[in-house]
Amino acid sequence: MAVETIFSKIIRREVPADIVYQDDLVTAFRDIEPQAPIHILIIPNIFIATINDVKPEHEQTLGHMIIVAAKIAKQESIVYDGYRLIMNCNQHSGQEVFHIHMHLVGGHHLGPLLTKNE
């Protein structure tokens, strides 16, 4: 039985989203609460809850997510200044939707990825 998430509905276009790319393997859309001028989520069209659930048969889809990220970065004119790709796994990382997704963020200087826990 397939698990239903908000991302499943976006893939099927049952929920409105600003989709910037879609093919047989992945869908990419603008984040509704952007953390940078460019903040796009890239998701596999198949359900995978977390990185811990990735199987060898998902390799093509996950690799394709990176290819699509580079294509979108070029399309958004951030390829030369730089951008960040982020994937979170489970609650301590900040994963909110349990359907894996890659954040493509850029459009200004992003600063350090992590700060020290003091």
Told to judge if 101 belongs to the known catalytic residues of this protein, a careful annotator would answer yes
- CA 52 – CA 63 distance, rounded (Å): 16
Among 39, 58, 92, 101, the active-site one is: 101
Give the residue numbers marked as catalytic.
101
